[in-house]
Amino acid sequence: MKDGPDIALLGALIGNPARANMLTALMSGKALTASELAAEAGVTLQTASTHLAKLEHGGLVRQRKQGRHRYFALADDDVGGLLEGMMGLAVRKGHLRARTGPRDPALRKARVCYNHLAGELGVRLFDSLRRRGFLADDDGALALTAAGADFVRDFGLDPDALRDPRRALCRPCLDWSARRSHLAGALGTALLDRIYDLGWARRQEGTRVVDFTRRGEAAFNAAFPAD
């Protein structure tokens, strides 16, 4: 009979392999249907449905009905951040799945972290923005500077349109492979979307890998120089 936050509930939700598989799949940022998640987790649709109900009840997942489909997604950035954090600890403690395939280096280089860019390139982007003074600490939180807003505009985005009282504009997110922060929040999401729109990269189907084209990577390096 203690008080305080109960981490056992969260742990139990994530601790089931089928649910962990679903959550990992949702880290791709794409909303998936119950059937897709069932296939991803290797269970039938019935069991997937009960798992999803539990995840939703626990606040880890939210669903959006669309016709006769139900699309499931992570509830918010916080959930993505926690999962990324757990992945980081799992890697450091050696808790890896059986087969570490050829995708692994690609994952370390560039992948989506729920809805923003992670991996080496994600970290580079974040560092580059900070070093050039586009992001600054504002009383403990991360803020976009005036110069940063100009940069974002030049990049083809409207910084004012990104502001949303319910969501942080810029938020650091700890990267599991690099052990460094990359950029989350509305700006992180928008920058990744813009990178897709510019044709610099696209998602590898069914994985978290972000494939940059040769020209796209060169353009990325020019836009976000390492130093």
Binding pattern for the stretch 58-77 against DNA, x by CB under 7 A and - elsewhere:
-----x---xxxx-------
Q: How many C-beta neighbours within 10 Å does residue 168 have?
A: 16
Looking at beta carbons only, is 106 or 223 nearer to a copy of itself? 106
In Å, how far are 130, 150, 178, 224 from 135, measured between CA atoms? 5, 12, 20, 13
Q: Exactly one of 32, 43, 48, 79 binds a copy of itself (CB under 8 A); which one?
A: 79
Q: Is there binding between residue 13 and a copy of itself (CB under 8 A)?
A: yes
Q: What sign does the dihedral 210-10-190-37 (CA atoms) show?
A: positive
Q: C-beta of 18: minimal distance to DNA in Å?
A: 4
199 binds, among a copy of itself, DNA, none (CB under 5 to 8 A by kind): none
- Distance, in Å, from the CA atom of 96 to the CA atom of 92, rounded to the nearest integer, reads 9
Q: Is there binding between residue 2 and DNA (CB under 7 A)?
A: no
- Distance, in Å, from the CA atom of 191 to the CA atom of 77, rounded to the nearest integer, reads 16
Looking at beta carbons only, is 74 or 209 nearer to DNA? 74
**CA angle 173–175–181, rounded 5-degree value:** 50
Q: Half-sphere exposure (CA, 13 Å, Cβ side) for 186?
A: 16
Q: Is there binding between residue 165 and a copy of itself (CB under 8 A)?
A: no
52: nearest Cα among 68, 73, 77:
73
Residues in the site for DNA, rule: CB under 7 A?
12, 16-18, 33-35, 43-54, 63, 67-70
Residues in the site for a copy of itself, rule: CB under 8 A?
1-17, 19-21, 23-24, 58-60, 78-79, 81-83, 85-101, 103-104, 107, 123, 126-127, 130-131, 137, 139-141, 176, 180-181
